[in-house]
Amino acid sequence: MSLIAPPLSLYVHMPWCVKKCPYCDFNSHGLRSESPPYAAYIDHLLADLDADLRDFGEAIQGRSIISVFFGGGTPSLFAPELVERLLDGVRQRLPMASDAEVTLETNPGTVEHGRFDGYLAAGVNRLSFGIQSFDDAKLKRLGRIHSAGEAEAAVKSAQDAGYRNINLDLMYALPEQQLDGALGDVERAIALAPTHISHYQLTLEPNTAFAANPPPLPDDDHAWAMQEACEAHLAAAGYGQYEISAYAQRDKRCEHNLNYWRFGDYLGIGAGAHGKISASADGSVRRRWKTRLPRAYLDASGGAARIGGDSMVPADELPFEYMLNALRLIDGVPAGDFAERTGLPASSIAPALTQAQAKGWLEDRPDRLKTTALGQRFLNDVIASFLA
């Protein structure tokens, strides 16, 4: 089994946030009385990267980074000079494409005025704002620390600083939300003229405060009506849907996330970060994730204890893993990409493809793997059909 090495990205996890939101199941940790060791964390991130580069060896050698994504937590708690130090360290260790997309997640309530120009100078060329809603009552219910007015002011401040590539995260099907409320959020987002909008349904995730004490959410039919209406509104404003929850202006799709969805490779550094690396020499696909707790990650100092898990993806699980990502894309992917990214022959998924096409979930075409409108609505069922 052999495969072609796909594009390579870098994910950097910044685990701290001001306050944990009740719906959040990400590896984020609210601030306590003492300030986190932000500067020391940068040193540990670079030590983590050094160790990964040694471990992955030839699988990484000669490959350039096409995108960097600072996720969290709230990465904007880190000062621009710390972000710059990390990016400088990455460039010293790995070649980075001249047009590499570098995204920083930020919350409107955590960025001081004047910091945006600092992030831009540091090399961050794309911002992603965690807005979620422009309804103050809904923001309070979601545990957010900003108001709608602060969100709008933060986005405009970033634009004034020179940012031309901005994403806004919005959620729908919020507690007791009606259709007009979901549409109102989309309208206010569009009015700010971001280049990209991520619009996704609030779901109750295990081990969250909302899961333990569920708020009253719209039922599936109402949530679907919100999704369809908002999708049409976004399309009319020039935001084309290219993934289940992603909408972008022309040529402004998120390259980092596209690499995930196309089953590309990515290094993951930081507490709880996940990575995936393909080795063209033996056709293996390897996943590695780091220990979740920031204190344990810091104590590891770039050593073996920083690794929370490390395993090869079994060949019979690769079809499911591939489809879990690729079928989220509205336009699908070239059919030949499956073999290139997994090293498996097309015949290995032929029975599942035939079954999905017969159910009207996938288009019946030899050149592309692409869901139908029905397949998009029942995407979980489509993907499950590729389980071993």
pLDDT at 114: 72
Residue 305 lies in a domain: no
Token pair 């600072």: residue: 70
For residue 34, what is the domain's CATH number? 3.20.20.70
Collect all residues with Cβ–Cβ distance below 8 Å to 166 and sequence separation of at least 6: 126, 127, 128, 129, 155, 158, 159, 194, 195, 196
pLDDT at 111: 73
pLDDT at 283: 79
Per-residue pLDDT of the chain (388 residues; tens, 9 = 90+): 567 789 999 999 999 999 999 999 899 999 887 789 999 999 999 999 999 999 999 899 889 999 999 999 999 999 999 999 999 999 999 999 999 999 999 999 877 667 999 999 999 999 999 999 999 999 999 999 999 999 999 999 999 999 999 999 999 999 999 999 999 999 999 999 999 999 999 999 999 999 999 999 999 999 999 999 999 999 999 999 999 999 999 999 999 999 999 999 999 999 999 999 998 778 789 999 999 999 999 999 999 999 999 999 999 999 999 999 999 999 999 999 999 999 999 999 999 999 999 999 999 999 999 999 999 999 999 999 999 8
322 and 226 both lie in a single domain: no
pLDDT at 46: 98
60 and 165 both lie in a single domain: yes
Residue 306 lies in a domain: no
- Tell me the residue range of the domain where 245 lies: 8-259
pLDDT at 34: 79
pLDDT at 1: 56
Token digits of residue 187 = 């309208």
**What CA–CA distance (Å, rounded) separates 92 from 298?**
22
For residue 332, what is the domain's CATH number? 1.10.10.10
DSSP state of 331: T
**What CA–CA distance (Å, rounded) separates 96 from 92?**
9
Residue 43 lies in a domain: yes
Residue 324 lies in a domain: yes
248 and 327 both lie in a single domain: no
Contact status, residue 305 vs residue 296, Cβ threshold 8 Å: yes
Residue 268 lies in a domain: no
Residue 320 lies in a domain: yes
196 and 52 both lie in a single domain: yes
Residue 300 lies in a domain: no
Amino acid letter, residue 104: L
pLDDT at 71: 97
Closest CA relative to residue 274, chosen from 52, 117, 107, 29: 52
Give the count of domains, the chain: 2
